[in-house]
């Protein structure tokens, strides 16, 4: 079957979400692959420019990684995964299969090219460099979120309470000073707190934390799954088309046109956007392009929220866990498990974290309702990849958000729409290009 996207288009469309009302945009047929936060944001910004947009997403919008995360719009989180402390924690990873960083050793041969690059990125100068690249994107995160949320009538889904990071021991706090300095160095606000101040800011915590810091600019999505459903509904209401099929391959071998294949045939377009999270790697492989993209897997459990509820999402530093008070319950999320996308989930570690959360939060009880696993799409340098693929100027990528992919989704979408509309993007994109 051959399929042509044939919606009726205005010849020239104004771009309200881009905030550039007078700028004429030539309407194009655009296929977006993947409906996580990056893909749906791209879809919405592209529709606002008047393009004929079809989104391919085989899954449910409220089940994937963009729904199960901690919901922190974490605009101060510039620290990459690869740091000297990550390297220092490798021995404990070996000894403790339930520590903050875990590797499923069976998958080591497959993971080793990514791990090798991760180690190269742990050099202190690279950490600084990668943090600055992340921070440049994070500079625009809030503004792009606000555009998406206000346009879709979903502004009530986000609060801005700040993110509180807490430390139980002097040792951990001392070791984390470079993180505090790094966050300051990229111009983010940070308030250092002592034992008493932590309890004033967050009275729902048990008095076990000796040190902490608040990054007050950070936001919090109250229910990421509900937000994803709302964004998908808005996309369709604004004339976007959703097709519930898995894309099997990408073809860029005809002048002017690009195509994707699914089990039902070929679909042609003027532009293709690859925002398939961790699975972007497989799609690029169908074009003969290899990228070192892997999943930093993570888990959550939902629990009944305590009375009174916490006011802030909390990063409990030593346990690598996030405590996230959401509208539909209390979400506890885990640190990183390294294995590939096919490996079955292992819920042992997140279950073991429940007593740690109960110990930290007043009135929290051990009853768990839902348990879940997701995939942070991560490059070894923790820097997302964005823009047209060199040599394939009609195919764009937007993946690699990693630990801050929920924060950066709308920014990935906005930059992609700007490029497709031939507008100047918000930042210089050379550092985010993929190499072919
Ligand atoms: C436990 C945990 C906690 C987290 N907490 C936070 C947080 O607090 N703040 C934050 O900013 N980030 C957080 N993250 C990271 C964030 O959730 C991810 O980086 C982000 O959701 C990735 O979005 P995405 O759109 O790039 O990918 P995804 O959400 O993975 O979306 C990709 C989509 O592509 C689809 N797809 C795959 N293959 C194909 C194909 N062949 N054809 C068509 N479609 C396809 C998939 O079905 C999927 O829906 C967390 C992640 C985890 C796991």
Question: What are 263's two structure tokens?
Answer: 């089990």
Ligand 1 center from residue 246 Cα (angstroms): 16
Ligand 1 center from residue 376 Cα (angstroms): 6
**What gap in Å lies between CA 329 and CA 102, rounded to an integer?**
27
> Cα 123 to chain center, whole Å?
24
Tokens 């169908």: give the residue. Answer: 286
pTM of the predicted model as reported, rounded to 2 decimal places: 0.94
**What gap in Å lies between CA 398 and CA 222, rounded to an integer?**
25
pLDDT tens-place string over residues 309-340 = 999 999 999 999 999 999 999 999 998 999 98
At residue 429, the 3 state secondary structure works out as coil
User: Considering Cα of 114, then 116, then 117, then 118, what sign does the dihedral take?
Assistant: positive
What DSSP line would sit under 374-429, residue for residue? EEEEE-TT---EEEEETTEEEEEEEE--GGGHHHHHHHHHHHHHHHHTTPPPSS--
**What gap in Å lies between CA 25 and CA 363, rounded to an integer?**
54
pLDDT tens-place string over residues 172-222 = 999 999 999 999 999 999 999 999 999 999 999 999 999 999 999 999 999
Residues with CB under 6 Å of ligand 1 are: 33-39, 56-59, 64-66, 69-72, 74, 246-247, 275-277, 279, 283, 298-300, 333-334, 374-377, 399, 401-407, 409
Which alpha helices (H) appear in 139-223, and where do they start and end?
A: 141-152, 170-175, 177-185, 195-201
Q: pLDDT per position in the chain (436 positions), as tens? A: 333 333 333 333 334 454 444 468 999 999 999 999 999 999 999 999 999 999 999 999 999 999 999 999 999 999 999 998 878 877 776 566 556 678 888 888 899 999 999 999 999 999 999 999 999 999 999 999 999 999 999 999 999 999 999 999 999 999 999 999 999 999 999 999 999 999 999 999 999 999 999 999 999 999 999 999 999 999 999 999 999 999 999 999 877 889 999 999 999 999 999 999 999 999 999 999 999 999 999 999 999 999 889 999 999 999 999 999 999 999 999 989 999 888 999 999 999 999 999 999 999 999 878 999 999 999 999 999 999 999 999 999 999 999 999 999 999 999 999 999 999 999 999 999 998 7
- Orientation of helix 141-152 relative to helix 37-48, angle to 10°: 70
Domains, the chain: 29-421 (3.50.50.60)
Strand 368-378, strand 158-159: pairing: unpaired
> Cα 105 to chain center, whole Å?
25
DSSP 141: H
Q: For a ligand 1 pocket test, name from 68, 405, 413, 432 the mutation site with the most ligand atoms within 8 angstroms of its C-beta.
A: 405
């Amino acid at each position: 079957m051959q399929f042509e996207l044939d919606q009726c288009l205005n010849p020239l469309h104004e771009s309200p979400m881009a905030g550039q009302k007078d700028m004429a945009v030539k309407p194009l047929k655009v296929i977006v692959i993947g409906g996580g936060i990056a893909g749906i944001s791209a879809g919405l910004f592209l529709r606002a420019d008047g393009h004929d947009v079809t989104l391919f997403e085989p899954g449910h919008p409220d089940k994937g990684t963009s729904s199960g995360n901690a919901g922190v719009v974490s605009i101060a989180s510039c620290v990459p995964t690869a740091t000297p402390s990550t390297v220092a924690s490798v021995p404990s990873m070996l000894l403790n299969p339930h520590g903050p960083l875990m590797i499923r050793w069976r998958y080591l041969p497959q993971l080793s090219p990514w791990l090798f690059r991760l180690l190269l990125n742990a050099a202190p100068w690279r950490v600084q460099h990668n943090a600055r690249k992340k921070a440049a994107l994070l500079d625009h995160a809030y503004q792009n979120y606000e555009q998406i949320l206000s346009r879709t009538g979903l502004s009530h889904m986000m609060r801005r309470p700040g993110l509180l990071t807490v430390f139980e021991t002097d040792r951990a706090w001392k070791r984390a000073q470079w993180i505090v300095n790094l966050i300051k160095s990229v111009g983010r606000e940070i308030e250092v707190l002592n034992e008493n101040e932590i309890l004033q800011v967050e009275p729902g915590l048990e008095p076990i934390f000796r040190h902490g810091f608040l990054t007050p600019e950070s936001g919090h999505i109250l229910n990421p799954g509900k937000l994803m459903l709302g964004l998908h509904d808005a996309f369709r209401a604004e004339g976007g088309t959703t097709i519930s099929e898995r894309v099997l391959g990408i073809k860029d071998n005809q002048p002017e046109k690009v195509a994707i294949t699914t089990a039902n045939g070929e679909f042609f377009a003027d532009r293709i956007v690859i925002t398939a999270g961790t699975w972007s790697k497989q799609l690029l492989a169908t074009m003969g392009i290899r990228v070192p993209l892997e999943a930093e897997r993570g888990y959550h459990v939902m629990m009944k929220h305590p009375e009174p509820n916490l006011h802030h999402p909390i990063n409990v530093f030593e346990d690598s866990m996030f405590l996230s008070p959401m509208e539909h319950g209390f979400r506890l999320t885990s640190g990183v498990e390294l294995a590939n996308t096919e490996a079955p989930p292992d819920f042992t570690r997140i279950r073991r974290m429940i007593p740690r959360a109960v110990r930290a939060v007043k009135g929290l009880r051990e009853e768990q309702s839902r348990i879940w696993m997701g995939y942070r799409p991560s490059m070894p340098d923790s820097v997302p990849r964005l823009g047209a693929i060199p040599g394939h100027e009609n195919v764009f990528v937007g993946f690699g958000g990693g630990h801050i992919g929920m924060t950066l989704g709308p920014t990935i979408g906005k930059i992609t729409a700007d490029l497709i509309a031939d507008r100047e993007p918000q930042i210089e994109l050379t550092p985010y290009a993929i190499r072919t």
